[in-house]
Amino acid sequence: MKSRQIRLATFLTPGDVHVAAWRHPTFRYNDGADFAMYLAAAQAAERAKFDLALLGDVPARATEPDRVLATLSKYDILDPQAIIAALAVTTSHIGLAATASTTYNYPYHIARRFASVDHLSKGRAAWNVVTTANPTEAFNFGFAEHPDPAARYARAEEFVDVVFGLWNSWQANDFVRDKAAAEYFRPDCLKPLDHRGEHFTVRGPLDVARSPQERPIVVQAGSSEPGRQLAARVADIVFTSQQSLNGAKSFYADLKGRTGAFGRRPEDLLIVTGVMPYVAETEAAAREKFQELQNLIDPGLAIAKLSEMLGEIDLSIYDASKPLPDDLPPPSTIGITSRRKGIIDYGARSGLSLGELARWLAGTRGHVPIIGTASTIADWMQNWFEEGAADGFLVFPYAIPEALNEFGSLVVPELQRRGLFKTEYEGSTLRERLGLCTPNARKRDVASNSIHETT
């Protein structure tokens, strides 16, 4: 039996991983509208045999003050669904994931777009399901206010079910394309979905043939209670941010333990934790690289980012040289709240002042910075992997493609030498390469064990 191996994904959003990276004088790209940047990053990840490249999306202005927003490279970023369509025909092996919200889209749009990319890429598409944390998106889609989390997740549950139903509109051999019989598809296979629910009425069927993967990979990142339930039911991959090994192991065990309630096996769900590596030939050189970027962070931006991540609260009224106060106001129910406790705990455990915590968050997005040589970084990853804290890692490059080139040339060979990471791509689709069974195979397996699958 083949030994279990680490899965690697990366995040390709430019200029917003490390918020000050665009200011560095030697980095190659700082233009978010330049497709060549995305292609160079995806190709760097593909050379390193990464499994997946993810593009985030926030189609609205951020919540920071205008002066702070002006320091961010956020307003010339292309639509991620358009980017993965272009990458589908300019790359060959790496999986391609784009973020799309269930709050501000409709199921037919999403089912059609991701099924199309799956065909363009020959089975490498993935949908990152989000319910949208940024409340200002509401104002771009005709809403007077952002729905609360309960409403967003209720819509998301039905949304995903409708998308799955549309992706299941056709079977692999329904399109016979028989010229002599004048039969493009078998008429008995034309079966509308006819979904009628609380949020959506969708007739169907989808006007795209069955996906090469049966259905595209589904990615999810919610850590709240409803987010975990949705992930355990429908996700193939869960991205998470964890600050400690014990916390990561607890999350891993909890989420894997929920899958059985939905007729799934723990191995049907891959848990991938976010990291930001800074690698160099020596520890000192790696730390110097990290500090150089940290010194470029605007202090006002750092405080604004921390305010946002703690639930849209105003931290500018506190002394930045002192620790976070114990009596912080409660988070807004419409913003990001699921990561609040982890960030606060990290600041207290590390003895950081409010300003230091803000700068750490701005430079890492709240993910673990791993700073050192290829050997020390591989040690860290191997420990988390073997301790049952992660199936793999979402590598946040501080700059693209520079950080991906460094990781690929230094860390990946070390992981391969240890037998922890593949040396070549295997399988023809992303689902096969990740070792995830197809939905139909899962249903057959579940049926044989008299367990009903709910999706």
From CA 433, how far away is CA 426, in angstroms rounded? 6
Beta-carbon-side half-sphere exposure of residue 229 (alpha carbons within 13 Å): 9
Where does residue 201 rank: exposed (0-12), middle (13-18), buried (19+ CB within 10 A)?
A: exposed
Q: How far is CA 273 from CA 54, 336, 387, in A?
A: 13, 18, 13
Q: pLDDT per position in the chain (455 positions), as tens? A: 568 999 999 998 765 578 888 888 877 766 778 899 899 999 999 999 999 999 988 776 666 666 666 666 666 778 999 999 999 999 999 999 999 999 999 999 999 999 999 999 999 999 999 998 778 888 888 888 888 889 999 999 999 999 999 999 999 899 999 999 999 999 899 889 999 999 999 999 999 999 999 999 999 987 889 999 999 999 999 999 998 999 999 999 999 999 999 999 999 999 999 999 999 999 999 999 999 999 998 888 888 888 878 877 888 889 888 988 888 888 765 555 667 877 888 888 888 999 889 888 888 877 889 999 999 999 999 999 999 999 999 999 988 889 999 999 999 999 999 999 999 999 999 999 999 987 765 554 544 443 333 33
Those residues with Cβ within 8 angstroms of residue 138's Cβ, 6 or more apart along the chain or in another chain: 104, 144, 145, 146, 147
Strand (E) or helix (H) holding 96: strand 95-101
Q: List the domain boundaries for the chain.
A: 7-448
From CA 440, how far away is CA 63, in angstroms rounded? 43
Q: Is the peptide bond before 323 cis (omega within 30 degrees of 0)?
A: no
Which tokens sit at 50?
């990464």
DSSP 8-state code for residue 409: I
Where does residue 148 rank: exposed (0-12), middle (13-18), buried (19+ CB within 10 A)?
A: exposed
- Does the domain made of 7-448 have the CATH classification 3.40.640.10? no
What amino acid is encoded at 1 in this protein?
A: M
Predicted TM-score (pTM) of the model is 0.89
Which residues face 370 on adjacent strands? 277
Torsion 152-14-248-320 (CA) sign: negative
